[in-house]
Amino acid sequence: MSGVGYSFGEILESLRIYKGLSLAELAEGICSRQDMIQFEKEEKYPTIDQLYKIAMKLEAGLDHFFDFDSTGTFNHAIAVMELIKKYKRERDYQAIHEIIQKEKGNPLFKHTSLKQFLTWHEGICTYYLDGDRDRSVRLLNEALDMTNSERKELDEREIEILTSLAIIEKDSGNLEASVGIFKRALNDLTVLAQVQDSKIWLRILYGLAQALSNLEEYEESLIYCSKGIDNCIYEENMYLFGELHYQTGMNYIKLGKLMAGKEFLERAVNIFNLQQNEKFARLVAIEMEKLLKHC
């Protein structure tokens, strides 16, 4: 379908009618019927997740919705990247993998920055879906090489890729290497004039704290847990707030400081409950009961 002269709403309506779906049928499981009416009238726009579901139901590629003039609301590349980021937060690596396979052949993603983004996330998926640490590390380094082969003065994107590399090394048991990479990422982030996504601080601090705990370096791990918690409070950001409290509690228990450990684990449970993350709250509560019973 050529998008020239067509708006987002017109494209959406024409695809829906072509597929023989009513507004209610297309909206089912995605949004309300009224929302779909507003999408077609362009009184408001779907979230990227809603758009992806709409595209799947209409058996159309996302490209259909971006193939209109450059002043249109959506930009295909940005939309794809935002969708991948969303699925990464949810740890839905299969969904990310499927998107990457679809976009690899898209000429748009031959541009260095966009190709780097796909290669970076392909590296992440390779580890968590296939358990292939070597290929994962190779892809992550390949992504870094695209913009900074000498690894000097890393920018924010490059530090994020480096952090992914550190996390893969941590999760595959290469703890010493992981700690070194995390600390390099932290140092490089510190010298940046401005950090666009403050969550990167927390990803590094939490990952580093985990790796140090696994190395039984509990005192040093506590330092980075504390920095992470302070960052969450300063930025008014709940991202990894519960996890950092949990890690702090675990460190104190391993150090034999049971009361302090129990206090932080209880805070972790409360935070997860506030976030409506019942699964994590329940897991921490069970873990706390087992640990304190054996201590």
| Structural domains in the chain plus CATH codes | 1-74 (1.10.260.40)
pLDDT at residue 156 tops 70? yes
Q: How far apart are the first and last CA of the chain?
A: 66
Between the CA of residue 250 and those of 150, 183, 207, 221, 270, what are the distances in Å?
A: 38, 22, 14, 10, 16
Query: Under a CB-based contact definition with an 8 Å cutoff, are residues 65 and 12 in contact?
Result: yes
- pLDDT value at residue 294: 63
Predicted TM-score (pTM) of the model is 0.77
Cα angle: 56, vertex 61, 66; to 5 degrees: 120
User: pLDDT tens for residues 49-97?
Assistant: 788 889 889 987 776 676 544 444 446 777 788 889 888 988 899 999 9
For the four alpha carbons of 158, 217, 199 and 127, in that order, the dihedral sign comes to positive
User: pLDDT tens for residues 232-244?
Assistant: 999 999 999 999 9
Banded pLDDT at 181 (limits 50, 70, 90): very high
Phi, psi of 191 (to 5 degrees): -85, -5
User: pLDDT tens for residues 233-292?
Assistant: 999 999 999 999 999 999 999 999 999 999 999 999 999 999 998 889 999 988 888 877
Cα angle: 292, vertex 207, 119; to 5 degrees: 140
211 CB-near residues (< 8 Å, 6+ apart):
166, 170, 175, 178, 179, 182
Average pLDDT over residues 142-154: 95
